[in-house]
Copies of this chain bind each other. A is one copy, B any other.
């Protein structure tokens, strides 16, 4: 499996372009609307056949580029079934496999940050969305967030993976690009040292974070896959494409 990690500076979001070396079938995880021009150019330069645009969850901090990628490449837009997203083509659930070339991503349903969280597991790496961040984890105080469920997802579905598995999150705010399951089990300040469910819930409830500035616009935009057939492209300024 070939991979390209891509960064959106404004929202500190990582997108991931994955492809099969032989037949060039590809998937994009968590594309960002504002980076669509860059991403489309890269996909074309590499000569890839984009099969899926995959969301790890319904984001509250940026709008997906999935709808635009579908317009350009005729790919399928996939989200978890819990997401009320009629614009999607595929609704994923625990245990599903996303196939591209000889590669498979296994869907792990990992609710907690939201009730739509998916981690995508490959042979040697896992794309953890906002479920598990590098030395951190996604907040659980909005969008059906639930710190107890988040703890269960992280410890029950991610920390049972081999230590060597690489962790690729949806965000990093400190310039880190990747980690491993072993590192997070040992060094994640919220989860390391055999943290208890109650201890984790206490940490998360004590965080007292501001509401994301763009949450209303972002969630609404993502429920339309970044595009409304009637209204056109939705950007983060709320401007509608002609």
A residues contacting B by CB (< 8 A) are 4-9, 35, 38, 42, 45-46, 174-178, 183, 186-187
Contact, CB under 8 Å: A175 / B45: no
Q: Are A38 and B187 CB-contacts (below 8 A) given A7-B7, A9-B9?
A: no
Q: Could you pull out 6 A-B pairs where Cβ atoms are within 8 angstroms?
A: A4-B176, A4-B177, A5-B178, A6-B176, A9-B175, A38-B176
Chain B residue at smallest Cβ distance from A21: B164
Q: Are A175 and B46 CB-contacts (below 8 A) given A7-B7, A9-B9?
A: no
CB distance from A89 to the nearest CB of B (A): 26
Chain B residue at smallest Cβ distance from A175: B7
A9–B8 alpha-carbon span in the complex (Å): 11
Contact, CB under 8 Å: B5 / A186: no
Chain B residue at smallest Cβ distance from A187: B45
Q: Are A175 and B4 CB-contacts (below 8 A) given A45-B183, A186-B45?
A: no
A8–B176 alpha-carbon span in the complex (Å): 9
B residues near A7, Cβ cutoff 8 Å: 7, 175-177
CB distance from A26 to the nearest CB of B (A): 15
CB distance from A190 to the nearest CB of B (A): 15
In the complex, given contacts A4-B178, A7-B175, what are 19 additional A-B residue pairs having Cβ atoms less than 8 angstroms apart?
Answer: A4-B177, A5-B177, A6-B175, A6-B176, A6-B177, A7-B7, A7-B176, A7-B177, A8-B175, A9-B9, A35-B175, A38-B174, A38-B175, A38-B176, A45-B183, A45-B186, A45-B187, A46-B183, A177-B177
